[in-house]
Amino acid sequence: MVQTVKEFVTDAYSLVSAQSPTVPLHGSDMRKGIQFLNELVQSYSANGLMTTIAKDVTFNVAIGQRYVTFGSADHLPTPDVTSQGRLSNLQNAWLLLNGVTYPLIDQSRNVFFAAYKYDPLQGLPRYCIITNDTNLTTMQIYPAPSQVFELHVYGKFELPVLGENDTMSAYPNYYTRFLKFALAKDIAMFRGRAESWTAKLEQMLNDAHDEMKAVSPVNLVVETDRASLLNGAWRVRAGI
């Protein structure tokens, strides 16, 4: 059964109730609980390690388009892709044209900008370079496409902000158990109930934390001769 956010926060309070788990919430308890929940979820969206669900998002890149931005629709200027929010962890990216897949190499900004390259350059894109901003993620495609491609980005995206009338349907059931203990710990520390966070609760949280990290896939990258590709020699050999 999918819980509402209100029910979820109430359960978290019950874990650290100093007197009885059935004591009703008072005053700003619910509002602060939802605030702590959103802060916790956004912190997990920083690098995607504790965000367990990866998604495949598609976007058509135009001829000569060098950058694709990911973020929420209320961000100004409006990002190119707003359906999932900020990209927090890229796992794979590729281009699709006429049924043919062209994988992109995820290259670090330091290595890319230190390499010899032609800029601007159009052709078959080979690299993607990720830049993380405050509320926005920018993906640079290099070289810029010489024709329209369908860009596929598979990764983890920032989780949406939750309100009191929302549900926890965006989170898998195995994740909500961990998140409930994590929220209870934050509530205990920020609401003056630190003494109610026991060693047993800490152990249960750590166990659930290890399980959530185990859900995140291991990145199996096959290193290739990137130097000769990045400096343009591959274009000459390929006749591009």
Torsion of the alpha carbons at 108, 111, 112 and 115, rounded to the nearest 10: -170
Helices marked H in 98-151 — which ranges?
A: 109-114
Residues sharing a CB contact under 8 Å with residue 119, sequence separation 6 or more, in sequence order: 142
Q: How far apart are CA 73 and CA 94, in angstroms?
A: 24
pTM exceeds 0.95:
no
The amino acid sitting at 218 is V
Asked if 51 and 45 count as a contact pair (C-beta separation under 8 A), the reply is yes
Q: What is the pLDDT of residue 23?
A: 62
| pLDDT, tens digit (0-9, with 9 covering 90-100), for 114-173 | 876 666 778 899 999 999 888 889 999 999 999 999 999 999 888 888 998 899 988 888
For residues 195-219, give the mean pLDDT: 84
